Amino acid sequence: MSGFVSFVSSGPGDPELLTVKAVNRLQAADAVLFDDLSSGPILSHARKDADLVGVGKRAGRPSPRQDHVSQLLVDYASTGAHVVRLKSGDCGIFGRLEEEITALRQAGIGFEIVPGVTAASAAAAAASIPLTRRLTARRLQFITGHDVTGGLPEDLNMAALADPEATTVVYMGKRTFAALAERLLEAGLPPDTHALVALGVSTPEQSLACHTLGKLPEALRKMDTKAPVLILYGPLADEDLPR
């Protein structure tokens, strides 16, 4: 028997940001393998008799190995079950989607991808600003703040990241942003470049704060939070940024 896997994007945390398709897949699933950030009220859409299995990864906490998560997906689907792999944000953005797809393809198991709201879009909406601006921010780029070792990636394109006419969003960058900021300043990005820090976007713990590139590393160092941290910098709409 071979089941089917739906990779479902849960959005950044607010259940109202789920798509209709995401809700439909949750209601039909025999099993839901969910990320830590996709738990709570979002799981209320799952069937009462569905297996709910937490497989999330959080920085600095014990987490299941990726190969174990991938194998668990294969094992459930191999029983003929309809499985939802519930991923936070949009599952195609820094969500380890490729490894899990590879495991399903090797096992001959069908799948689909249900896109959703990524944290960058939710953060900009919460701050009442656009991610792009017609004259000053024609390009938008997403990067991860750490590599598989937990450190700042060594192969970053600094010319692109220091482009003053691009909006850059750094996912999972709290611990490494000081090193990134140093390289950005060396590459010529002005220290007074606008920066926005978004914590726990779209959740009850949401917090937004405006900084500059030069002062942000110290602000992050003093920040004591377990909520996901997202950093946006570039030609943001200064007059609308939260103070």
With contact defined as beta carbons under 8 Å apart, do 198 and 227 qualify? no
Average pLDDT, the chain: 92
Q: Tell me the percentage of the chain whose pLDDT exceeds 90.
A: 80
The residues, any chain, with a CB within 8 Å of residue 148's CB and separated by 6 or more, are none
State yes or no: pLDDT of 24 exceeds 90: yes
* 4-22 tens-digit pLDDT: 999 999 999 999 999 999 9
pLDDT for 225 equals 86
Long-range contacts of 60-67 (CB under 8 A, 24+ apart): 66/96, 66/99, 67/99
Range with the lowest mean pLDDT among 52-56, 71-75, 228-232, 237-241? 237-241
* 194-237 tens-digit pLDDT: 999 999 999 999 999 999 999 999 999 999 888 899 999 999 87
CATH fold for the domain made of 119-240: 3.30.950
pTM for the structure as a whole: 0.91
Cα separation, 214 vs 6, in Å, equals 43
pLDDT for 1 equals 61
pLDDT for 92 equals 96
CATH of domain 4-114: 3.40.1010.10
What are the residue ranges spanned by the domains of the chain? 4-114, 119-240
Cα separation, 117 vs 196, in Å, equals 19
Active site residues: 35, 57, 172
